[in-house]
């Protein structure tokens, strides 16, 4: 089973990289990062499946985005006990909070 999961993970990451490459090709002068496709790399983060990868991306986004939204990294989260749905909901909340913080900062700079 793990072999199949690993193959699905690599295919998922390769697809994400292909999407990013297409976006860069369609937008000359733009750049974007490519994700490592080596399963051994992801194993260091306990990422073995597509769902593990999605969790990892959401956890990282929430943790780092919390700083942009509120000034401190989200060290208080108990990610391991959050469902994927809860992580997605929190990521949406953080995304909106970041947008609001950026708008407030832009307005403050105008003054």
Please give the mean pLDDT across all residues of the chain.
94
Q: What is the mean pLDDT of residues 48-59?
A: 96
Share of the chain above pLDDT 90, in %: 86
Q: Is the confidence at residue 53, as pLDDT, over 80?
A: yes
Tell me if the pTM is above 0.75. Answer: yes
CA-to-CA dists, residue 13 to 48, 55, 57, 62, 99, angstroms: 12, 14, 12, 20, 27
């Amino acid at each position: 089973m793990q072999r199949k999961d690993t193959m699905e993970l690599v295919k998922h990451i390769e697809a994400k990289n292909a999407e990013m490459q297409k976006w860069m090709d369609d937008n000359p002068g733009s750049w974007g990062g490519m994700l490592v496709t080596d399963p051994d790399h992801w194993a260091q983060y306990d990422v073995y499946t597509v769902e593990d990868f999605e969790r990892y991306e959401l956890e990282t986004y929430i943790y780092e985005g919390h700083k942009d939204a509120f000034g401190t990294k989200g060290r208080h989260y108990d990610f391991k006990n959050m469902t994927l749905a809860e992580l997605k909901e929190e990521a949406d909340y953080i995304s909106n909070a970041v947008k609001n913080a950026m708008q407030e900062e832009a307005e403050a700079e105008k003054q």
